[in-house]
Structure 1
Amino acid sequence: MKEDDPPGTHDLRMVVQQATRHLSQAGIETPRREARLLLAHVLGTDLGGLLLRDRIETALLEQFHALLARRAMHEPLSYLTGRAGFWSMTLEVSPATLIPRADTETLIEALLDLRPDRGDVRTILDLGTGTGCLLLAALKEYPQAWGLGVDLSPDAALLASRNARHVGLSGRCDIICGDWAQAIAGRFDVVFSNPPYIPHMDLQGLMPDVRDHEPHRALDGGDDGLDCYRIVMRALAHLLRPHGLGIVELGIGQDRDVAALGREEGMEVVDIRRDLGGIARALVVRQAGEP
């Protein structure tokens, strides 16, 4: 603290510089940005509001340093702030769920391209809903639709329910705790799933942010990474309405294998969509033989 600093406060620029250096030494890829995001979170503002501040009180600085230490241990930033952006929403996140990623928005983009008429989708199912990001984003885009989200984790199901309330969609969806589609008898216009798809032996090679903090049950796809796709593709036969679409997220290089699993279960590949990195990320299927 400089001699002319007001008592109990600290220069914000110095705090950011020191925090950036600390995160950089810990191997965080965007240390300055993350330091500023954490600081904005502690101060109850955003990055724009941070520009209007030049001091931070000691009590808040201590909170910031505690979060900074956790980030330096590669605890994900979104778990520290409790929030993540997806589509046009800000959602609550917790270690009970995967953190929504921009790549997953490819599934929403695929649906919008294939069903541009916003009245064409009335029922949506999201298997393994997690935060509810896919279900809620689709409901935002299709105002006449109702949706159902299913997750094996009670904590994830509760979190998705809270997110539905936060974004004003709790009246248009239900979130239940269940094992994939075992308790579901209805049929849907759209079925989403972002299942676990990392081969079991590859889990230890993931970035520490993911490997050490995100839930393994939402990552581990079995020996070949395809266990959950087998379940989902088998279920689509009794979940899809006529002309309904099944849209699943793909891991890197899994498009051919998952498409083959779909064909074995009577599905026809409608489309394979690539994300911004050029990776085949969304597989779209329907019942084979439909016009």
Structure 2
Amino acid sequence: MDTADLDARVIIAVAFGLAPSHVVLHPDEPVDAGMLARLTPLLERRLSGTPVGRIVGEREFWGLAFTLSPETLEPRPDTETLVEQVLARLPDRNRPWRFADIGTGTGAIAVSLLHELPNAVAIATDLSEEALRTARGNARRHGVAERFFPIRCDFTAALGPEFDFLVSNPPYIPSGDVGRLAPEVRLHDPRLALDGGRDGMEAYRVIVSESVRILRPGGGVFFEIGYEQAAALKALLTSRGFADIAVYRDLGGRDRVVCATLAN
């Protein structure tokens, strides 16, 4: 396991009701039989391939803890690149921005942005009622529920016009590749959040087409992508009248985010 030491610290902390830093600072602290009994089944789940986030029931994103559920994708650090680029391209964080988060899942992207944009309002869509319930809970957890509005619909189907921008981490894995994903992903993340159709571009085609209807002139789109999808998405955006298209890489050096502006 690439992060075995970190995984162990987090699981120990959860089992014993400690902060992870306590485990690091007090490595020689004794463990009694009762503590070991709480720890052992959690370690066994990790050794069987269950991700740490699923074991502890939450995952940190943008410095915030997000509750998970079976119907939500586990947010990952690479997606923070999307949040970074939204914030970098906004001229004024205090404006009353109105944005849409398409396929919100845990609500991690929208809630993180609302946390940084004190006067913004987010409309968050998802097909899963359970995912929206989880996202609503995460919005309450981080004090932004009054500015977070979950809607159950297919992509943008229930949305009207005049959004300043939209964000989305849509399903982008080609259908034929889903079965080859790592077990931590394939067996624990919902397929609805992974399967992007034959070429992985199905969701992008729908959202880009609909974004022309729901964005105000000059509005922006921010997408997470698979590392080989930048060229295809740039071509799609260009064909629908978008300009100022930029591609940004994640910390691993892979293409991760595509941003564009709807021409006036």
Residues 141-162 of structure 1 show CA distances to partners (whole Å, capped at 9, x for unaligned) of 1111111111111111000000
1:92 equivalent in structure 2: 67
Matched residues in 1 for 2:241 and 2:261: separation? 9
1:178 equivalent in structure 2: 153
Counterpart pick for 1:117 among 92, 95, 100 = 92
1:30 paired to 2:6: no
1:286 equivalent in structure 2: 261
1:129 paired to 2:139: no
Counterpart pick for 1:167 among 138, 142, 155 = 142
Larger radius of gyration: 1
Q: What secondary structure is seen at the aligned counterpart in 1 of 2:71?
A: coil
> What one-letter code is carried by the residue in structure 1 that aligns with 2:227?
I
1:10 equivalent in structure 2: none
Residues 219-243 of structure 1 show CA distances to partners (whole Å, capped at 9, x for unaligned) of 0011100011111101110111122
> What one-letter code is carried by the residue in structure 1 that aligns with 2:89?
L
Q: What secondary structure is seen at the aligned counterpart in 2 of 1:55?
A: coil
Counterpart pick for 1:72 among 29, 47, 53 = 47
Residues 157-203 of structure 1 show CA distances to partners (whole Å, capped at 9, x for unaligned) of 00000000000000111112221111111321120010000011111
1:59 equivalent in structure 2: 34
Matched residues in 2 for 1:273 and 1:121: separation? 26
Q: What secondary structure is seen at the aligned counterpart in 1 of 2:31?
A: strand
- Of residues 235-244 and 54-63 in structure 1, the stretch that sits farther from structure 2 once superposed is 54-63
TM-score (norm 1): 0.86
1:236 equivalent in structure 2: 211
2:126 equivalent in structure 1: 151
Deviation at 1:269, TM superposition (A): 4.2
> Structure 2 unaligned runs (5+)?
none
Q: Structure 1's 121 and 57: CA in aligned 2 closer, same or farther, altered over 3 A?
A: same
Q: What secondary structure is seen at the aligned counterpart in 2 of 1:45?
A: coil
Q: What secondary structure is seen at the aligned counterpart in 2 of 1:74?
A: coil
2:162 equivalent in structure 1: 187
> What one-letter code is carried by the residue in structure 2 that aligns with 1:279?
R
Aligned-residue sequence identity (percent) comes to 37
Counterpart pick for 2:223 among 229, 235, 248 = 248
1:215 paired to 2:190: yes
Matched residues in 2 for 1:249 and 1:188: separation? 19
> Structure 1 unaligned runs (5+)?
1-27
Deviation at 1:120, TM superposition (A): 4.0
Deviation at 1:121, TM superposition (A): 5.2
